[in-house]
Structure 1
Amino acid sequence: MPGTWGSLASLPVAAALQWAGGAWALMLGTLVVLAVGTVVAEAYARQSGMKDPSVIVIDEVVGQWATLVPLGFEPLSYLVGFVGFRLFDTTKPWPIRRFEKLSGGWGIMVDDLLAAGYAGIIGYAILNLAGQV
């Protein structure tokens, strides 16, 4: 459940970034949080002795934001992006599950980035079919 709460909490900040600077600002924010989050997650995982501690939700923030970049700045886009990211992050379809074996900060972050890729592509297709993109 921490991942869902982390994704949900990231939405207002994503909206603020998009409102201030569009998709480019959200993409830049995603890259900054990815870089910082990878280092911090690595340090916390090493200190705690856990491979992917559930208290780390910065990976969900990165994944949720990366999902939203191509989807636009509409309420329906945010709903589709949130549901899609949570679906792919929790089910981890092939090959996402294979990347959980990576260790350290990158191992914590990469499965969420791949889930974001799936969610962004599927979300874009859904929104395009609905005439929203």
Structure 2
Amino acid sequence: MNRLAQLTATVGGIGYLRPAPGTWGSLAALPLAWGFHTLGGMPLLALAVVGTFVKGIWATKEMTEGSEDHDPSEIVIDEVAGQFIALLPLSYASWMHGIDILAMWPGWIAAFALFRLFDITKPGPIGRADRRGDALGVMLDDVIAGLFAAIGVVLLAGFWHGLLQPMFGL
């Protein structure tokens, strides 16, 4: 097995943590996303999404070649890509408005929880992507789950800031 592909796909071995390696992968994405955002704002985090996606397809293909299991649980690079996407609305708001991204901690919790919810339950197009049975499908289901979570983060922020805060003076 290609050692670089294994390190990439398992995010430095985090995918071997038990239980719930996908959750560990998503948790590992949080400080990484913070680092990318701190170094280069939303543009660098968006670039990290693309790079993680491309590297993830390669690493997943390498790790699963010749195996019947197209999505072994230790592959968590897909969770990192999806979690990065779920955090993009926070990174954008921070970058555009000069807000400390850590001050938006409720959004971080929402992005994490929504991403895990969509990644685990795999509704609609997320499940269809997962059933592709190839490296692209492994990555795509988490990308779509990340998009769903990002939309959820935006809707929750709009609900909180646009309705609840003005209505109740919170």
TM-score (structure 2 length as normaliser): 0.73
Task: Quote the Cα distance in structure 1 between the aligned partners of 2:38 and 2:159.
Answer: 24
State the aligned residue count.
132
Please say if residues 46 and 104 of structure 1, whose CA atoms lie closer than 8 Å, have aligned partners that are also in contact: no
1:34 to 53, 74, 77: 53
1:18 to 33, 37, 57: 37
Say which is worse superposed, 120-129 or 57-66, in terms of deviation.
120-129
Task: Quote the Cα distance in structure 1 between the aligned partners of 2:61 and 2:133.
Answer: 9
Secondary structure (helix, strand or coil) at the match of 1:70 reads helix
Q: Which runs of 4+ in 1 moved over 3 A?
A: none
Secondary structure (helix, strand or coil) at the match of 1:130 reads helix
AA matched with 2:85? A
Task: Quote the Cα distance in structure 2 between the aligned partners of 1:113 and 1:87.
Answer: 13
2:77 pairs with 1:58 = yes
Task: Quote the Cα distance in structure 2 between the aligned partners of 1:117 and 1:125.
Answer: 12
Task: Quote the Cα distance in structure 2 between the aligned partners of 1:75 and 1:113.
Answer: 22
Specify the alignment match of 1:117 in structure 2. Answer: 147
Task: Quote the Cα distance in structure 2 between the aligned partners of 1:48 and 1:69.
Answer: 34
Q: Which consecutive residues of structure 1, in runs of 5 or more, have no partner in the other structure? A: none
2:21 pairs with 1:5 = no
CA RMSD of aligned residues (A): 1.4
Say which is worse superposed, 59-68 or 43-52, in terms of deviation.
43-52
Please say if residues 129 and 140 of structure 2, whose CA atoms lie closer than 8 Å, have aligned partners that are also in contact: yes
Identity of aligned residues (%): 38
Task: Quote the Cα distance in structure 2 between the aligned partners of 1:104 and 1:43.
Answer: 11
Structure with the greater alpha carbon radius of gyration: 2
Specify the alignment match of 1:78 in structure 2. Answer: 108
Specify the alignment match of 2:133 in structure 1. Answer: 103
Task: Quote the Cα distance in structure 1 between the aligned partners of 2:121 and 2:111.
Answer: 15
Q: Which consecutive residues of structure 2, in runs of 5 or more, have no partner in the other structure? A: 1-19, 92-100, 163-170
